[in-house]
């Protein structure tokens, strides 16, 4: 079977995108081929650092800037979908894509679209997750990969990686340690998902 075509949507530096692309370009732990291949890295920000990194890795890139759409989310989403279809995308990975997507877009891609969120969902949906976990006095924190459904940061959980919160942690130190786990978790989930396996992946810090 030919590999599934995976598009990755970014808005910034794209470190999760890099970990996903690398994982698809390398054999698996047992030497097996990946069931996915990167077909496109798409950014809504023309200056996103991840675009250069994708080009260096030999992946086609595109920009669909949201600003000319002047708040017309449906028109922006139609442009996104058109670009994804043009590349034959079969799976869409959101990786630091900082636009809220409406039901219009989500319903078209539902079941094929994943997101990574920096908290142990269902805790701390939305922004500032690390600061909120610290303020709440949590003993642990982490990240979640989930299928995207119309409600923000909801959808079936496909994997979680957890780590202890340390005395003296700041939102920045915690974010840095969670990001290391994001780079392990997202590729592990995508490897399974591309092969048609939705069994969740659970990781803890090594």
Q: Binding residues for ligand GRF, per CB under 6 A?
A: 10, 12-17, 95-96, 116-118, 179, 182
User: Of 61, 20, 25, which Cα lies nearest the Cα of 40?
Assistant: 61
**3-state SS, one letter per residue, for 130-172:** HHHHHHCCCCEEEEEEEECCCCCCCCCEEEEEEEECCCCCCHH
Residue (75 or 131) nearer to ligand GRF, CB: 131
Omega cis (within 30) before 146: no
Catalytic residue among 34, 85, 104, 117: 117
Q: How far is the CB of 1 from ligand GRF (least distance, A)?
A: 29
Residue (27 or 122) nearer to ligand GRF, CB: 122
Largest CA distance in the chain: 50
The yes-or-no answer on residue 104 being catalytic is no
Nearest-angstrom CA–CA distance, 119 and 112: 22
- Cβ atoms of 50 and 97 closer than 8 Å: no
Residue (125 or 192) nearer to ligand GRF, CB: 125
Residue (78 or 173) nearer to ligand GRF, CB: 173
Q: Residue 161's beta-bridge partner residues? A: 143, 203
Q: How far is the CB of 195 from ligand GRF (least distance, A)?
A: 23
Q: In what order do the strands lie in the sheet with 157-164?
A: 61-63, 36-43, 4-10, 91-94, 113-117, 140-147, 157-164, 201-204
Q: 3-state DSSP call for residue 50?
A: helix
* Positions marked catalytic: 117
């Amino acid at each position: 079977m030919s590999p599934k075509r995976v598009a990755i949507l970014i808005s910034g530096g794209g470190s999760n995108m890099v970990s996903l692309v690398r994982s698809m370009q390398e054999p698996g732990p047992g030497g097996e081929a990946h069931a996915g291949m990167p077909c496109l890295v798409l950014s809504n920000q023309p200056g996103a650092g991840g675009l250069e990194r994708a080009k260096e890795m030999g992946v086609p890139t595109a920009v669909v800037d949201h600003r000319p759409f002047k708040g017309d989310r449906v028109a922006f989403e139609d442009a996104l979908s058109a670009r994804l279809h043009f590349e034959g995308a079969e799976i869409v990975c959101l990786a630091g894509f900082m636009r809220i997507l409406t039901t219009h877009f989500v319903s078209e891609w539902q079941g094929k679209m994943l997101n990574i969120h920096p908290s142990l969902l269902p805790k701390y949906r939305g922004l500032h997750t690390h600061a909120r976990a610290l303020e709440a006095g949590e003993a642990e924190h982490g990240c979640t990969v989930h299928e995207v459904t119309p409600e923000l940061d909801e959808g079936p959980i496909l994997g979680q990686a957890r780590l202890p919160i340390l005395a003296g942690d700041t939102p920045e130190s915690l974010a840095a340690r969670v990001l290391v786990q994001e780079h392990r978790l997202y590729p592990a989930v995508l490897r399974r998902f591309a092969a048609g396996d939705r069994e969740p992946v659970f990781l803890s810090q090594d």
